[in-house]
Chain A
Amino acid sequence: MTNSILARRFAIAVAIVALVVLPYAIKEVYYVNIASQILLYAIFALGLNILVGYAGLVSLGHAGLFGVAAYVVAYLLTAGHGHALAIVAALTASLLATAGFAALSLRATGITFIMITLALGEIVWGLAYRWISLTNGDNGITVASRPAPFGIALSGARPFYVATLIVFLLAVAASSIFVRSPFGAALCGTRDQPRRMNALGYHVWLIRFWACMSSGFLSAVAGVLFVYYNQFISPQALALTASAEGLLMVISGGAGTLLGPVVGAALVVIVKNVVSAYVERWNFMLGAIFVAIVVFMPEGLVPGAARLVRSFWQATGRRKSVAPVTAERRQ
């Protein structure tokens, strides 16, 4: 067993080194930017995965939380405040919004939870779109500069990539600690057997609430990175399509796994950029991929691939059927 742990640590170290070296190995800035995009969306997907994968609560309003953070940064910077204040205020505002989302949507689970989060996400979108005096409506807000933590300017593509990578690694580490913690175990318990967890004395609602908050926090972090990456925010980033893209990342990669959302984010960002270079029909592709994955590979790419590898190694053993992780069969 120690061998496999060593191999695992070695693989993680190799992956980190590869990610750090990546921007200096690639010549074109375009690809470095795509790598930054993948990392920031991976943070968003990791956040959503806490809800979808571990809490069994599918949210279709997460782009709203992402957007609140992005808009607060943009608004405060335009008003002339500093970066530190803008970022702290953005995370705080987004957490408050998440608490509101959670208080309303956690009155239900399952399908009703999806509907409520969808409606709430649409409210935030509607505010961004219609409350023109605050958000500049469809024209969006431009952010003039990126921050320079410790005197290192992030205006170039490579420094920004490294900063995003650091935040990303922190998010992965936090998620992995979260999943293994007693709280993570309790959260999985509320997903699989809420009534038994209740009987065991766990406060199911409160556990779900804190899961929402953690998820909202990661989404907010991604939102801040997003607004600095694009130096622009418009209601487009909050639309239902954006929430659905996030969900597609989680589900295509494999909900309830640590690596899944990251792989899913890479898949979606790459397909989106490659496809949109050739055809305009990205939304059609998004829908088609969504349908195909749900129908043909409901467990997602990472568990699907893991299953293939396992069955390859135990070629003689019987194949176990893998149940979809986010099974929502109870109700």
Chain B
Amino acid sequence: MTFWLLLTVNSVTFGGLLFLLSAGFSLIFGLMRIPNLTHGSMFMLGAYFGTTLLSGVLGVRFGFWVAAVICALEVALLGALMERLLLRRLAGQQLAQVLVTLGVSFMVADLCLMGWGGDPISVATPPGLSGFIRAGAAVFPLYRLAVIVIAAVFALALWLMLERTRLGAMIRAGVDDPQMARVVGIRVSRLFTIVFALGAGLAGFAGLIGGPILSVYPGIDQDMLPLALVVVILGGTGSLLGSFVGSIVIGFIYNFGQALLPELAYFILFLPMVLVLVLRPQGLFGGQIL
């Protein structure tokens, strides 16, 4: 019983991390109609930047949460630069844009290997959250519960942003019908930059937040990107609700698969994707952004 309970908590935690990663992926896909294949790299960059900030830059050591915010901003800036300098040049050519993001992801992976070496770097759990909570016989790590709360807060904030703000309304209009949105005076190309930066920043944030659980290692980008892809195919592209539900589902399948069938865990992970593709190709919540 304790085993199952713990597995469930781990699943929801991992689902929360996946949500932080895939919400941006999904929004970028919805708005720009391209899968951003650098999304895994953004996650990895966030994590590596975070480890550097935690171990101190120029003699200044940053706290965990400050570091998380800083690396989210750094990665968001990189995302905005990439959108402005590379993807903008190829506006309208989706295939070329996808290939460029793929090329950049290889460059980032190699640069990270050069900069931070090939050994995994573990990230210390932030002080104050390294304890446990006892509930009967079960013991829950505090940090994992905190990640669930953070993901829930971000889900709520993103929902409010999309549903209640002017920016959110513009993004929804852009996802729905970019040409019409342009006609009514929304600068869709500026939205591209904003959403790209937002998605990249969220991924970078998730990278460091996931650090204490996953640690950071070369190849984590290639591990996370397919998960984001599966979440988005499952939930439907451009849908916040879809990426939320998809993340939780994949979080459960991933953790239960790892625990029960470790050799086939990766394979089982893709089964729901196959089912959805066959039964409902647009994804569970395709076509509805919230």
Contact = CB atoms under 8 A, between A and B. Distances in A.
B110 A123 contact: no
Contacts of A327: 93, 95
A150 to B, nearest CB: 40
Contact of B229 (A115, A286, A298): A115
Interface string B86-122: 1001101111101110111111111101100000000
Contacts of B108: 287
Contact of B92 (A108, A288, A329): A329
Contacts of B90: 294-295
B267 interface: yes
Contacts of B106: 241, 244, 283-284, 286-287, 290
Interface stretch (A11-19, A127-135, A314-322): A127-135
A131 B264 contact: yes
A240 B96 CA distance: 17
A118 interface: yes
Contact of A130 (B93, B100, B263): B263
A192 interface: no
Contacts of B265: 130
B34 interface: yes
Nearest to A295: B89
A251 B93 CA distance: 15
Interface residues of B, number: 45
A104 B86 contact: no
Contacts of B109: 283
Interface string A74-104: 0000000000000000000000000000001
Interface in A129-164: 129-133
Interface string B259-284: 00011111101100110011001000
B75 interface: no
A284 B111 CA distance: 7
A116 interface: yes
B164 to A, nearest CB: 30
A294 B96 contact: yes
A123 B267 contact: yes
Contacts of B114: 281, 284
Contacts of A265: none
A266 B139 CA distance: 58
B127 to A, nearest CB: 35
Given A244-B102, A294-B96, A326-B95, A107 B281 contact: yes
A126 B266 contact: yes
B230 interface: yes
Q: Which of B99, B233, B262 has the most chain A CB atoms inside 10 A of its CB? A: B99
Given A107-B277, A116-B233, A132 B263 contact: yes
B99 A111 contact: no
Nearest to A115: B35
A239 interface: yes
Contacts of A2: none
B99 A284 contact: no
A300 to B, nearest CB: 12
Nearest to A110: B94
Contact of A127 (B35, B94, B103, B267): B267
A240 B33 CA distance: 21
A120 B92 CA distance: 27
Given A283-B110, A288-B107, A294-B103, A130 B277 contact: no
Interface string B65-99: 00000000000000000000010011011111011
B215 interface: no
B263 A131 contact: yes
A283 to B, nearest CB: 4
B102 to A, nearest CB: 6
Closest 10 pairs (CB-CB, A-B): A126-B266, A290-B103, A287-B106, A287-B107, A284-B110, A291-B103, A328-B95, A283-B110, A287-B103, A122-B226
29 contacts: A58-B95, A58-B98, A104-B278, A107-B278, A111-B34, A111-B95, A115-B229, A115-B232, A116-B233, A130-B264, A131-B264, A240-B222, A241-B106, A244-B106, A283-B110, A284-B110, A287-B104, A288-B103, A290-B103, A291-B86, A291-B103, A291-B107, A294-B100, A295-B89, A324-B93, A327-B95, A328-B94, A329-B94, A331-B94
Given A290-B106, A298-B93, 18 more contacts: A60-B102, A111-B33, A111-B95, A114-B98, A115-B229, A116-B233, A126-B266, A130-B264, A240-B222, A281-B114, A284-B111, A287-B104, A291-B100, A295-B96, A324-B96, A326-B95, A329-B92, A331-B94
Interface of A: 58, 60, 104, 107-108, 110-111, 114-116, 118-120, 122-123, 126-127, 129-133, 239-241, 244, 247, 251, 281, 283-284, 286-291, 294-295, 298, 324, 326-329, 331
